[in-house]
A and B are shown apart, each in its own frame.
Chain A
Amino acid sequence: QVQLVESGGGVVQPGRSLRLSCAASGFTFSDYDMHWVRQAPGKGLEWVAVISYDKINKYYADSVKGRFTISRDNSKNTLYVQMNSLRAEDTAVYYCAKNSVVGVAGGVDVWGQGTTVTVTS
């Protein structure tokens, strides 16, 4: 079945770095744009970043631009996000998500279970 499994979350001090991974299975990973979405404790969803299926296009939320880098390895069916200069406000559950087969208008149709990042001194 289609599955996304995030890993790499943890507790980190402000200013430090962390890399999250998302292992995909059950679909042709290299055919789909992939997203990161986060949710701070008790808050709503915040879209973080997207990478196109061919790695050519990347877009970021203003809140993470210049600090986070999204990437993918299609040979390993894995999505990444490198998070540098972490701040307390980056504390959240981070979800990996697959763009819909429908395309741009389809939204995100598969989500991982999430991995928790806590930024604290």
Chain B
Amino acid sequence: DIQLTQSPSFLSASVGDRVTITCRASQGISSYLAWYQQKPGKAPNLLIYAASALHSGVPSRFSGSGSGTEFTLTISSLQPEDFATYYCQQLNSYPRTFGQGTKVEIK
């Protein structure tokens, strides 16, 4: 099975900050990676698919990059509504594993 490791697991940031979250795969997955945002008590929402494609309706301050084994999710200017937990998921093979999550909190 492919393992995904996110870093950091926890991030404290201020409104307006640029935030970067990394997701590393245990083996190459080309660009088969998605990013999700989850707020407490809610279902996740798709942000990015195919490593860098912005899902419909997602603000342009979110961007994704990477291929192979290393990927990043960047929020260019953190907004109050962005404080949440973020997960990466590999789409290369089954089981479709998730990273352990990165919680973004207000500094």
Decide if A and B are genuine partners: yes
A50 proximity list for chain B (CB < 8 A): 94, 96
B: number of interface residues (CB 8 Å): 26
- Cβ-closest chain B residue relative to A106: B49
B46 x A35 contact (CB < 8 A) = no
Interface-centre pick from A111, A112, A113 (highest chain B CB count, 10 A): A111
B71 proximity list for chain A (CB < 8 A): none
B43 x A112 contact (CB < 8 A) = yes
Chain B interface residues toward A at CB < 8 A: 1, 31-32, 34, 36, 38, 43-46, 49-50, 53, 55, 85, 87, 89, 91, 94-101
Main secondary structure of the interface of B (DSSP, over half): loop
- A-B interface, 9 closest residue pairs, ranked by CB to CB distance from nearest: A107-B34, A111-B43, A59-B94, A105-B50, A47-B96, A44-B101, A107-B49, A45-B98, A106-B49
- Interface residue A102 (Cβ < 8 Å from any Cβ of B): yes
Interchain CB contact (< 8 A) of B46 among A60, A107, A113: A107
**Distance of B6 from chain A, by nearest CB (Å):** 9
Interchain CB contact (< 8 A) of B98 among A46, A60, A102, A111: A46
Can you name 11 extra interface pairs (CB under 8 A) apart from A44-B101, A105-B32, A107-B36?
A: A45-B89, A60-B95, A95-B44, A102-B50, A107-B34, A107-B46, A107-B89, A107-B91, A108-B34, A109-B55, A111-B43
- Interface residue A71 (Cβ < 8 Å from any Cβ of B): no
- Cβ-closest chain A residue relative to B47: A107
A111 x B49 contact (CB < 8 A) = no
Tell me the A80-121 residues at the B interface (CB within 8 Å): 95, 100, 102, 104-109, 111-114
**Distance of A43 from chain B, by nearest CB (Å):** 9
Chain A interface residues toward B at CB < 8 A: 35, 44-47, 50, 59-62, 95, 100, 102, 104-109, 111-114
B89 proximity list for chain A (CB < 8 A): 45, 47, 107-108
- Cβ-closest chain A residue relative to B87: A45
Task: Knowing A107-B89, A108-B34, say if A45 contacts B95 (CB, 8 Å).
Answer: no
